[in-house]
Amino acid sequence: MTAGRGMQLSRERLLEAYRSMRTIRDFEERVHEEFEAGNLPGFVHLYAGEEASAVGVCSHLDDGDRICSTHRGHGHSIAKGCDVEGMWKELHGSSEGLCGGKGGSMHVADLSKGMMGANGIVGGGPPLALGAAMAAKTLKTGKVAVTFTGDGGSNQGTTFESMNFASVFRLPVLFVFENNGYAEATSSSWSVACGDIVNRAPAFGMPGTQVDGFDFFSVHDAAGEAVERARSGGGPTLIEVRFGRFYGHHEGDNQSYRAAGEVDALRRDRDCLKIFRRRVTEAGLLDDAGLDAVDADVAGLMDRCVEAARAAPRPTPDQLTADVYVSY
């Protein structure tokens, strides 16, 4: 096992990363329960199992850096610092939700945290990330943009355009392709003609790397290198994160397209939280007691959030027509 830059993080930073991943996991497990109980309107796409990607990348970013997310955006939102209670209320459609109940699960956003929005359109994010990167470049802020895209979104024309465009302008942007093996119910081993998404990087004139998405440190180290390159004017990078999701495309997905026992094996052997715990304790960086304390803390937070969200106020009819325009 190599001691990359992630293994050299301070105890505080490691605990912070673990807390963020644990928060995402608990959030998603509780959303699963609440949705199944019929307490949430609409539909939701869960990120459980993929936490190392969002947290591994976002641990290099501050509020001034921007990310664009996908329909599976809860994890990115939490990793980027969005208020968890506000997210819970948003999922309930409360007027106290992060987006006033106007967006819901698929449009969680907080620009003040650099979160430009989960996105209901596959391939919708990469062009927008170009804009954040262009603003950083033009205004010389030293900030970067990251677009998280699934293996499905990797096949969109908008994504191809954006990668070319980013290289042409040497924009400070990361294209993070979260390849969880399925675009809805279609396997990426079938839909990505070049096999691995990372193979597309040279075609668009940028460096590319493929990382183990079950391992926080693998993602963290690759993202750190790419963010540094972007900040120093070196242009875009493609990162393909390989892993699998613990739930279906959306809640209610029967997942009959998956192999028997696939998810059980993932949960048993490839859980990024378990792998993180094993690596940091074996290396003597953190101890179980400290990590257990985080688990308990997050569980308590989630209890309070769920309770608050259930009791949160509902929007009033006048909010139907509010905030379409700044002025009209």
Partner 1 sequence: MARVISMRKAINEALFQVMEEDPTVILLGEDIAGGEGSPGDDDAWGGDMGITKGLQPRFGKERVMDTPISESAIIGTAVGAATSGLRPVAELMFVDFMGVCFDQIMNQAAKFRYMFGGKARTPVVIRTQIGAGYNAAAQHSQCLYPVFAHIPGIKCVVPSSAYDAKGLLIQAVRDDDPVIFFEHKVLYDEVRDDVPEEMYAVPFGEANIVREGSDCTIVAIARMVHKAGEAAEALAGEGVECEIVDPRTISPLDEDAILESVEQTGRLVVVDEAYPRCNMAADIAALAAREAFGALRAPVRTVSPPHTPVPFAPELEAAFIPSAGKIADAVRRTVGYAA
Closest to partner 1 by CB, 10 or 321: 321
CB distance 241 to 177 below 8 Å: yes
315: exposed, middle or buried (Cβ count in 10 Å: 0-12, 13-18, 19+)? middle
Shortest reach from residue 9's CB to partner 1, in Å: 28
Shortest reach from residue 234's CB to partner 1, in Å: 18
Closest to partner 1 by CB, 145 or 176: 145
Question: Amino acid identity, residue 105?
Answer: S
Interface ranges with partner 1 (CB under 8 A): 66, 68, 97-103, 107, 109-112, 116-117, 119-121, 123-124, 126-136, 138-139, 145, 157-158, 161-162, 164-165, 168-169, 322-328
Shortest reach from residue 236's CB to partner 1, in Å: 12
Closest to partner 1 by CB, 9 or 98: 98
Shortest reach from residue 114's CB to partner 1, in Å: 9
Closest to partner 1 by CB, 259 or 324: 324
**Interior angle at CA 138, CA 132 and CA 144, nearest 5:** 40
Shortest reach from residue 66's CB to partner 1, in Å: 6
Cross-strand pairs, 173: 145
Shortest reach from residue 164's CB to partner 1, in Å: 6
Pairwise CA distance, residues 227 & 207, whole Å: 12
Question: Amino acid identity, residue 309?
Answer: A
Closest to partner 1 by CB, 148 or 217: 148
Closest to partner 1 by CB, 105 or 218: 105
Cβ neighbours for 164, distance < 8 A, ≥ 6 positions apart: 204, 205
Report DSSP letters for 72-130, one per residue. Answer: S-HHHHHHTT--HHHHHHHHHT-TTSTTTTSS-GGG--BGGGTB----SSTT-HHHHHH
Helix (H, G, I), strand (E, B) or coil at 323: coil
Closest to partner 1 by CB, 149 or 218: 149
Length of the chain: 328
326's enclosing H/E stretch is: none
Shortest reach from residue 314's CB to partner 1, in Å: 14
Pairwise CA distance, residues 274 & 245, whole Å: 15
Shortest reach from residue 183's CB to partner 1, in Å: 17
b vs e for 227-247, b when ≥16 Cβ sit within 10 Å of the residue's Cβ?
Answer: bebbbeeebbbbbbbbbbbbb
CA neighbor of 21 nearest in space, from 237, 219, 309, 289: 219
Question: Amino acid identity, residue 229?
Answer: R
Closest to partner 1 by CB, 49 or 124: 124
Closest to partner 1 by CB, 56 or 97: 97
Shortest reach from residue 284's CB to partner 1, in Å: 42
